[in-house]
Structure 1
Amino acid sequence: EEGGDLKSVCLTLFLLALRSGNEHRQADELEAMMQGRGFGLNPAVCLAIRVNTFLSCS
């Protein structure tokens, strides 16, 4: 299932790009969609995104 890993990495990078561009609503929707579809997003990755977002937004 290597293709799925690659897809989740790409989506994670896309999420980071959205959040760094202050597109938080879109990023939240994408994150919810990813979790709903069961993309194997590591909780640590999600946490890192949130921390990174918080630091870049504050």
Structure 2
Amino acid sequence: MYFSGTAKTSIEAKANRGAIDILIPIYFQDIEKECVDMYAFINKFEIPTFMEDYVFHKIHDFYH
């Protein structure tokens, strides 16, 4: 993930969302819903904390 630390531009946010959209199905394909650890995913890919809500919703969508 790319995060400048000072500016959350719309381009950065769009790139980060796109990366998350690609990574979630790959990362969680062999993980049962009951075993999901969102924070392990966030830490593994160094996703900025301000994107936690987006990750939560995308994981939820993936399993439903």
* TM bin (shorter chain): 0.3 to 0.5
Query: If you compute each CA radius of gyration, which structure gives the higher value, 1 or 2?
Result: 2
Between Structure 1 and Structure 2, the one with more helix by share is: 1
TM-score by length of 1: 0.48
